[in-house]
Structure 1
Amino acid sequence: MRENNLRTLFAQKKLAFNGWASIGNSFLAELVADCGYDAVTVDLQHGLFSVEAAVPMLQAISATKAVPLVRCSENSLGEINKLLDAGAYGIICPLINTKEDAEKFVRACHYSPRGGRSYGPARGVLYGGKDYFEHANRTILTLAMIETRQGLAAAEEILSVPDLDGIFIGPSDLAIDMGLAPDAWNDDKVDQAFQHLIKLCQARGKYVGIFCGSVEMAERMKAYGVDMLVPGTDAQLLRAETTRRLNILRG
């Protein structure tokens, strides 16, 4: 089966950079993936497109060296099964608030006896290889999103779930749930939560990723020792670079 390079980088203790495809277009997804990211996540939670639109985006990402990931819209066995069948090599699942949420998520990502995933990988075999079934359970990456105070409080229990590879921190929703603005990543309470989650993962040998809305935040998370960071969505980076160039040209 095709190697999951994110697992390789994790084993080598090397930071992975994850692109974020929030615009439902296969060419743009391919363009983002070709920029040098180690992985690209197709965002079905906040991206304004459907599972059907995600398939050609996964195909486009697969034409590059980037690992194709998906953030599912919800903790649904049906949707997660469909995305894995379509060739996603990892799932980021939003709003994991309890150990039970994490168990449900992990079960959807694994074939029996480790889970309840239904067999029918379709495009997954084309991307992963003919021995997909034999190796999928230990190749697919499972990351539970911690983005609420409830999830933060239950983080140790969530990380104790067998076959959960780690967590992905949602900083904006976590800040909002703490009564702060979405971009309050620099607030002491939010920063302490980041450090707590990162240390928990490091102590347990678990994967930890985070979305970063600015280079300054990304630099700090890099210093904290995260395994994967997202330096912004495709839409954010397109807007930022367009604005920068126009400002220069307009003087």
Structure 2
Amino acid sequence: MHKFHGEAEHMRDNRLKELFGAGETVVNAWVSADSAYLAETLSHAGFDSVTVDLQHGMFGLDGAVRLIQAVSAGPAVPLARTPALDAAVIGKLLDAGAYGIICPAVDDPVQAARFVAMCRYPPTGVRSYGPARANLAQVPGYVERADAQILTWAMIESRAALDAVEEIASTPGLDGVFVGPNDLALALGVEPGLAVPPPEVEAALARIAEAAHAAGRIAGAFALGTEAALRLTGQGYDFVTPGGDMAILRRAAAEAVAAVRGTAVTTAPSGGY
């Protein structure tokens, strides 16, 4: 399988589409730290993709562009989470080289359709021309191929979105849905951040995966570690993030300290979304 980094004679194929098409589980990394070194390291760590989080990450749009560059230096596919349903920001992230966008707070199929349009060129959508870094080599065919290569996930993280998940998942052109379990827990009135989600969240996760697959879409979610990620794959999720960068770092650091001191591992809450 070819690696993602390096130039090609035309717009590079999105390797995630090949993996999803083959029924593989895609394992995604998550970057919230403003460190190109960290982003590049994660791209070389074996993850299929690395998501640059502009919603809650500790950087702005300029920083996100640098992090997408860093991810692109390795084999992982660069993705980004936009902070909002904003055509200008989404277009900028795509122009910087993101091969997929995760959009938060999509509460209904109308918003989902607007999101898809922001990621597609006319006449299908409203994305403005200007692929900048995404087409540095100025090879022909980028615009013609971009719509088929860019992946789109609508986040399901509110009661309204859960109530409309079947309609959202059926939005023409949408590739998948993505769950933020902690925000969804808050929306459902239960405690977020638990190692094992409350029954209300577990039921919602099952419903969301079922709705995605019934519509032929990708079911994705953020997980608070590897055990949670395995529970998600057991529920049929195709696209999982087994913890964010800082949670992984904190856990590894705590385990190293505990191993040397011969004490129990103690860590702060892992955060997450």
TM range, smaller chain: over 0.9
Check the 8 A contact 2:121/2:127 in 1, yes or no: yes
Match of 1:217 among 210, 221, 228: 228
Separation in structure 2 between the aligned mates of residue 98 and residue 56 of structure 1, nearest angstrom = 32
Match of 1:37 among 44, 47, 54: 47
Q: Secondary structure at the match of 2:79?
A: strand
Cα displacement (A) at 1:186: 2.5
Cα displacement (A) at 1:194: 0.4
Query: Hey, what does 1:66 align to over in structure 2?
Result: 76
Check the 8 A contact 2:191/2:198 in 1, yes or no: no
Query: Hey, what does 2:7 align to over in structure 1?
Result: none
Output aligned runs, 1:20-169, within 5 Å: 20-126=30-136, 130-169=140-179
Query: Hey, what does 2:269 align to over in structure 1?
Result: none
Separation in structure 1 between the aligned mates of residue 72 and residue 138 of structure 2, nearest angstrom = 10
Deviations 1:176-214 (A, max 9, x none): 111112124531111011011101111121011110002
Separation in structure 1 between the aligned mates of residue 81 and residue 137 of structure 2, nearest angstrom = 18
Cα displacement (A) at 1:24: 1.2
Query: Hey, what does 1:234 align to over in structure 2?
Result: 245
Cα displacement (A) at 1:128: 9.4
Check the 8 A contact 2:65/2:96 in 1, yes or no: yes
Distance 1:129 1:67, change over 3 A: farther
Counterpart residue type for residue 133 of structure 1: V
Counterpart residue type for residue 38 of structure 2: L
Cα displacement (A) at 1:223: 1.1
Cα displacement (A) at 1:103: 1.4
Counterpart residue type for residue 121 of structure 1: P
Task: State yes or no: 1:17 paired with 2:27.
Answer: yes
Identity within the alignment, %: 44
Counterpart residue type for residue 178 of structure 1: L
Task: State yes or no: 1:199 paired with 2:232.
Answer: no
Query: Hey, what does 1:178 align to over in structure 2?
Result: 188
**Higher deviation after alignment, 236-245 or 201-210:** 201-210
Separation in structure 2 between the aligned mates of residue 214 and residue 67 of structure 1, nearest angstrom = 21
Cα displacement (A) at 1:33: 1.1
| 5+ residue gaps, structure 1 | none
Q: Secondary structure at the match of 1:249?
A: helix
Q: Secondary structure at the match of 1:46?
A: coil
Normalised by the length of structure 1, the TM-score is: 0.97
Cα displacement (A) at 1:138: 0.8
Deviations 1:72-101 (A, max 9, x none): 111100100111011000000001011121
Separation in structure 1 between the aligned mates of residue 71 and residue 136 of structure 2, nearest angstrom = 14
Q: Secondary structure at the match of 1:56?
A: helix
Distance 1:150 1:46, change over 3 A: same
Separation in structure 1 between the aligned mates of residue 28 and residue 197 of structure 2, nearest angstrom = 22
Cα displacement (A) at 1:127: 7.6
Separation in structure 2 between the aligned mates of residue 130 and residue 85 of structure 1, nearest angstrom = 15
**Higher deviation after alignment, 123-132 or 204-213:** 123-132
Spell out structure 1 runs of 4+ moving beyond 2 A.
126-130
Cα displacement (A) at 1:129: 5.0
Cα displacement (A) at 1:130: 3.5
| 5+ residue gaps, structure 2 | 1-10, 263-273
